[in-house]
Chains A and B, each alone.
Chain A
Amino acid sequence: MEVFEHLATGFMAAGSLENLMFCLIGTVLGTLIGVLPGIGPIPALAILLPITFGLDPLSSLIMLAGIYYGAQYGGSTTSILVNMPGEASSVVTCIEGHQMARKGRAGAALAIAALGSFFAGTIGTVFIAAFGPPLASIAQQFNSPDYFALMLLGLVMAIVLAHGSVLKAVAMVLIGLLLGLVGTDINTGLTRYTFSLSGLWEGIDFLPLVLGLFGIVEIIRNLENPPPPRETISTRMRDLWPNKQEFRDSIPAALRGTGLGSILGILPGGGAVLASFASYTLEKKISKNPRKFGHGAVEGVAGPESANNAAAQTSFIPLLTLGIPSNPIMAIMMGAMIIQGIQPGAAVMTTRPDLFWGMVASMWIGNLMLVVINLPMIGIWVKLLSVPYRLLYPAILLFCAIGVYSTSTEPFMMVLMIVFTVFGYLLFKLGCEPAPMVLGFILGPLMEENLRRSLVISRGDPTIFINRPISATLLVATVLMLCLIIFPQFRKTREEAFQEE
């Protein structure tokens, strides 16, 4: 039972009073900054990074990890309360979480998100401790063709995110893909679809896109059709807390989400983002009552939130065991480690076991603190909704603008945000849902890159996708998924068409 020995070392290191304090400061700061609309984990980490320069290595990493989890959870809070995702994975939380909030179940959604995250965090920690190195070797088996197949599977799953017409959802994914390709083509160095605007050379920025499409359009929608005045919001524990039925629906969803998230989180690239989308897809597909989805299905919060957090944990595996940052957040963590004079990689485990296991242990401690801090705060967050909307929305808008401004001080970013607000507004009026588009936007460039590269490697031979077991398996899964989506939908639209006649 080596694992327990290791974990014990870790808890000894991370459990010192000082480190506990930094963990607490990190999670609290992260939550507070993450809650501001428009500021996701990446800007939060970048903003707070210098604070940790003066600490010793373990404390600084513990604090940064705390900031990361805090910001991520804070982002979910904003997603649920005001439909304002700060990063790609919260887009999914918005879909069901915000619908729950609109129905007066904001407290329940927040509680489920917190508990689901904690549960996933616990499993994720055990996962890293027990299977870190072997799991990392799985990620190492993924070559370009396999990534292409994985992205394809992800895009097919994106279609399920929409609850309207499949055809429109497919078109939205494709539009997302196209938007993702704007900028410099990495193979040739030529720019594409930049309309001679130098601000687009490095692609469309994610933050103005997602804030425009979701957050600001949501404000405009609310102004056009003011939601019915909510009855005085009750902050009694009974109403904040999920009811029995909600718990019963959430637990299996959280379990499945944790599983998906733990595995997808290891894969570099889109892995962690795919996790929450994949979990949503899974929940919607196996639900006995898929019509609930899009109208505040609690499984649609529990699953993706758990997946998201589990993936957040396991995405540390490639960094800690291979020295490879699998996403921008891990790149910041890697930067922080380098500043502290530590080269991330498998060597850390042997040369500085206290550091490695201390960090693993601190992940669990961080998640525990998060749930302890946030459960009592749910009442406060929900109360925030009782601030009159006429004051709430200008403030939200201001935070969006500042969030965008602090990642890049270019006025062009505001122009982008305006463009995507108008576009999102049009889409809303035309009954198209933007969530699939976001996934297309993120996966599009990765997909093209891996497709082109695979074919260069195979010198134009497409069988490269079938000859590799991993990509072949993923492609079969993609086809199965497509069948699952298309057939019931045909049946349903036909039924609906007949009913209308």
Chain B
Amino acid sequence: MVIKSPQDFGAGILFILFGAIGLYVGSDLTFGSARNMGPGYFPMIICGLIALIGLIVTAKSLAIEGPAIERIQFRPIIFILLAIAAFGMLIAEIGAVISSILLILFAAYARRDVNLVETVVFAVTTAAFVVIIFVYALGQPMPVWWGR
């Protein structure tokens, strides 16, 4: 078995997984009848179709040539996700200023060769901008600092 189209192969597997999980998780929902459809009727049909398409896409990927999957680079995605996670977890605790600065610092390190001084200055300026616009001008519900 040779995979001729890695992208499609991956997509096919993803669809199969999605459909299978959907079928499994939804299996305890009442299916019902056409006259009185249960909560499971529509999702089950959709999951079945997703899995079916997954099978076809996978099968085709073994027969027809297609593009390769681009190499996954871990640095950008990890730092970007860290930045969001830090912001989301911390803003209620330590306030908009510091969590904004943290988000920008984390995000900046998604690239190599970071100019630390520039980034810090930029982070502080942006955080000030955010506080002025969102908290003072627009009255959005976020703490500026920790406490309260």
Given the interface pairs A167-B57, A414-B87, A421-B80, the reply to whether A188 lies near B111 with Cβ below 8 Å is: no
Number of A interface residues, CB 8 Å? Answer: 63
Q: Is A405 an interface residue (CB 8 A)?
A: yes
Task: State which of A171, A425, A500 has its C-beta within 8 Å of the C-beta of B65.
Answer: A500
* Min C-beta distance of A430 to chain B, whole Å: 4
Q: Mark B105-125, 1 if CB is under 8 A from A, else 0.
A: 001101100000011001100
Q: A401 touching B76 by the CB < 8 A rule?
A: no
Given the interface pairs A168-B57, A195-B25, A456-B36, the reply to whether A397 lies near B65 with Cβ below 8 Å is: no
Task: State which of A220, A394, A451 has its C-beta within 8 Å of the C-beta of B42.
Answer: A451
Main secondary structure of the interface of B (DSSP, over half): helix
Give Cα A332 to B47, complex, Å: 35
Q: B34 touching A462 by the CB < 8 A rule?
A: yes
Q: B37 touching A455 by the CB < 8 A rule?
A: yes
Q: B108 touching A394 by the CB < 8 A rule?
A: yes
Number of B interface residues, CB 8 Å? Answer: 73
Q: B107 touching A406 by the CB < 8 A rule?
A: no
Task: State which of A193, A429, A497 has its C-beta within 8 Å of the C-beta of B72.
Answer: A429
Q: B84 touching A401 by the CB < 8 A rule?
A: yes
Given the interface pairs A177-B46, A185-B39, the reply to whether A171 lies near B7 with Cβ below 8 Å is: no
* Min C-beta distance of B145 to chain A, whole Å: 16
List A contacts of B66 (CB < 8 A). Answer: 431
Q: Is A209 an interface residue (CB 8 A)?
A: no
* Min C-beta distance of A408 to chain B, whole Å: 10
Q: B80 touching A455 by the CB < 8 A rule?
A: no
Q: Is B14 an interface residue (CB 8 A)?
A: yes
* Min C-beta distance of B100 to chain A, whole Å: 6
- Residue of B at shortest CB range from A425? B77
Q: Mark B9-30, 1 if CB is under 8 A from A, else 0.
A: 0110011001000100110011
Given the interface pairs A397-B107, A402-B130, the reply to whether A417 lies near B84 with Cβ below 8 Å is: yes
Q: Which of A193-225 contact B (CB under 8 A)?
A: 193, 195, 216, 219-220, 223-224
Q: Is A286 an interface residue (CB 8 A)?
A: no
Q: Is B132 an interface residue (CB 8 A)?
A: no
- Residue of A at shortest CB range from B91? A405
Q: A455 touching B25 by the CB < 8 A rule?
A: no
Q: Is B1 an interface residue (CB 8 A)?
A: no
Task: State which of B38, B47, B81 has its C-beta within 8 Å of the C-beta of A422.
Answer: B81
Q: Is A181 an interface residue (CB 8 A)?
A: yes
Q: Is B83 an interface residue (CB 8 A)?
A: yes
List A contacts of B92 (CB < 8 A). Answer: 409, 411
List B contacts of A246 (CB < 8 A). Answer: none
Q: Is A460 an interface residue (CB 8 A)?
A: yes
Give Cα A28 to B102, complex, Å: 31
List A contacts of B141 (CB < 8 A). Answer: 406, 409
- Residue of B at shortest CB range from A33? B138
List A contacts of B104 (CB < 8 A). Answer: 394-395, 397-398
Task: State which of A178, A391, A418 has its C-beta within 8 Å of the C-beta of B122.
Answer: A391
Q: Is A47 an interface residue (CB 8 A)?
A: yes
Give Cα A455 to B111, complex, Å: 55
Q: B80 touching A220 by the CB < 8 A rule?
A: yes
Q: Which of B69-97 contact A (CB under 8 A)?
A: 69-70, 72-73, 75-77, 80-81, 83-85, 87-89, 91-92, 96
Q: Is B3 an interface residue (CB 8 A)?
A: no
- Residue of A at shortest CB range from B69? A429
List A contacts of B65 (CB < 8 A). Answer: 500
Give Cα A165 to B33, complex, Å: 34
List B contacts of A195 (CB < 8 A). Answer: 25
Give the residue among B7, B56, B65 with the most A Cβ atoms within 10 A.
Answer: B7
Give Cα A426 to B56, complex, Å: 19
List A contacts of B18 (CB < 8 A). Answer: 175, 178
Give the residue among A177, A401, A429, A451 with the most B Cβ atoms within 10 A.
Answer: A401
Q: A395 touching B126 by the CB < 8 A rule?
A: yes
Q: B107 touching A188 by the CB < 8 A rule?
A: no
Give Cα A260 to B89, complex, Å: 44
Q: Is A238 an interface residue (CB 8 A)?
A: no
List A contacts of B50 (CB < 8 A). Answer: 171, 174-175, 178
Q: Which of A370-423 contact B (CB under 8 A)?
A: 390-391, 393-395, 397-398, 400-402, 405-406, 409, 411, 413-415, 417-418, 421-422
Q: Can you pick out 22 interface pairs between chain A and chain B where the beta carbons lie within 8 Å of each other?
A: A165-B57, A167-B53, A177-B46, A187-B39, A192-B26, A193-B26, A219-B80, A223-B80, A397-B80, A397-B83, A402-B140, A406-B134, A414-B84, A418-B84, A425-B77, A429-B69, A429-B70, A429-B72, A430-B10, A455-B36, A455-B37, A497-B64
Closest 7 CB pairs of A and B: A414-B88, A460-B35, A223-B76, A394-B107, A185-B39, A430-B11, A431-B7
Residues of chain B whose beta carbon lies under 8 Å from any beta carbon of chain A: 7-8, 10-11, 14-15, 18, 22, 25-26, 29-30, 33-43, 46-47, 49-50, 53-54, 56-57, 60, 64-67, 69-70, 72-73, 75-77, 80-81, 83-85, 87-89, 91-92, 96, 100, 103-104, 107-108, 110-111, 118-119, 122-123, 126, 130, 134, 138-142
- Given pairs A397-B107, A455-B36, 11 additional interface contacts (CB within 8 A): A174-B46, A178-B46, A188-B38, A190-B29, A391-B122, A393-B110, A398-B103, A402-B130, A411-B88, A430-B11, A500-B65
